[in-house]
């Protein structure tokens, strides 16, 4: 059974932050949940659906007295927020996050943390076509993977508590070192999105020369759907996980080059 927290602070009450909060509340795993964000309308939505019990726009006020702080903003916004929070963490508080790129983030954040803060990085791999607290869904993590990527400073006890929390939220949990996580996600998630953006981009360019998209068949429509995800989030991810993505992209270019050669040579056996 997961431990109960007294006061949880969720920084960034979007689809993921809101879904964690509402499920924790329903499970009785948090006495109070304070939401921190910039847009008051969104925070009011979160309050109305019962995801949070109060809100503030000030990070320092939000984390004061919290025994669990959950960072659920885009990866590149995380270091700035942690800097502005320095000096306000409750001693012994657990800090966790939901960022989809881990190694670089951990390296940046660890030196900024107040002493006594137990940082347990994590990444729930869950769909995110929509954004905003009002789309919060307590079942969004059900059966999905959450990867916990411990930092050097993460305590065993803290890792255990965050693991139990994610299991309670319905996720399957795996522990992995941050670099392995980033390499795997570069392949199974970041590269497919990059490939889809590339394809849609080149088709739009060709369409300007010869109108062709009206004849588009099933294959292409799947790509446009993939490429419709938030451009801000994906720009962040492409840059944060640059090294691993470029590695996966090289593998892919090699594979594409092979297929190209088989087509050029008319090698039907290899193509098959």
Among residues 141, 206, 208, 228, which is the contact residue for a second copy, using CB under 8 A?
Answer: 206
Minimum gap (Å) between residue 25 Cβ and a second copy: 27
Question: Contacts with a second copy in 98-127 (CB under 8 A)?
Answer: 125, 127
* C-beta of residue 124 within 8 angstroms of C-beta of residue 150: no
Q: Which is nearer to a second copy, 44 or 172 (CB)?
A: 172
- CB burial of residue 238 (10 Å; 0-12, 13-18, 19+): middle
Q: Which is nearer to a second copy, 44 or 128 (CB)?
A: 128
- 268: Cβ–Cβ under 8 A, 6 or more apart, which residues? none
Minimum gap (Å) between residue 169 Cβ and a second copy: 17
Backbone φ and ψ for 214, nearest 5 degrees, come out as -65, -20
The verdict on 212 binding a second copy (CB under 8 A) reads: yes
For the residues of 243-261, what is the DSSP string, one character each? Answer: HHHHHHHHHHHHHHHHHHH
Among residues 54, 177, 222, 228, which is the contact residue for a second copy, using CB under 8 A?
Answer: 222
The verdict on 253 binding a second copy (CB under 8 A) reads: yes
The verdict on 225 binding a second copy (CB under 8 A) reads: yes
* C-beta of residue 74 within 8 angstroms of C-beta of residue 232: yes
The verdict on 86 binding a second copy (CB under 8 A) reads: no
Question: Contacts with a second copy in 19-78 (CB under 8 A)?
Answer: none
For the residues of 47-115, what is the DSSP string, one character each? Answer: HHTTS-SEEES-HHHHHTT-SEEEE-S-GGGHHHHHHHHTT-SPTT-EEEE--S--HHHHHHHGGGSPT
Please report, as ranges, the residues that interact with a second copy according to CB under 8 A: 125, 127, 145, 147, 174, 180, 183-185, 187-189, 191-199, 201-203, 205-206, 210, 212-220, 222-223, 225-226, 231-232, 234-235, 238-239, 242, 245-246, 248-249, 251-256, 259-260, 263-264, 266, 268, 271-272
């Amino acid at each position: 059974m997961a431990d109960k927290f007294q006061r949880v602070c969720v920084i960034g009450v979007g689809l993921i932050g809101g879904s964690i909060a509402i499920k924790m509340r329903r499970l009785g795993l948090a006495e109070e949940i304070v939401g921190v964000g910039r847009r008051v309308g969104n925070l009011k939505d979160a309050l109305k659906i019962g995801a949070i019990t109060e809100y503030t726009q000030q990070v320092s006020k939000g984390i004061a007295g919290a025994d669990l702080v959950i960072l659920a903003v885009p990866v590149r916004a995380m270091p700035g927020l942690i800097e502005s929070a320095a000096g306000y963490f409750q001693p012994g508080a657990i800090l966790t996050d939901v960022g989809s790129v881990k190694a670089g983030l951990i390296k940046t954040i660890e030196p900024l943390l107040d002493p006594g803060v137990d940082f347990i990085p994590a990444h729930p791999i869950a769909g995110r076509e929509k954004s905003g607290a009002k789309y919060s869904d307590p079942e969004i993590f059900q059966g999905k993977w959450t990867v916990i990527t411990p930092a050097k400073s993460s305590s065993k006890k803290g890792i255990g508590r965050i693991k139990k929390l994610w299991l309670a939220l319905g996720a399957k949990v795996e522990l992995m070192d941050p670099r392995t996580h980033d390499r795997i996600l570069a392949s199974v998630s970041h590269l497919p999105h990059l490939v889809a953006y590339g394809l849609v981009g080149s088709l739009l360019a060709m369409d300007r020369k010869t109108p062709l998209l009206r004849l588009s068949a099933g294959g292409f429509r799947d790509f446009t759907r993939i490429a419709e995800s938030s451009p801000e989030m994906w720009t962040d991810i492409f840059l944060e996980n640059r090294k691993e993505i470029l590695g996966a992209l090289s593998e892919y270019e090699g594979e594409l080059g092979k297929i190209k050669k088989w087509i050029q040579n008319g090698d039907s056996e290899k193509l098959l």
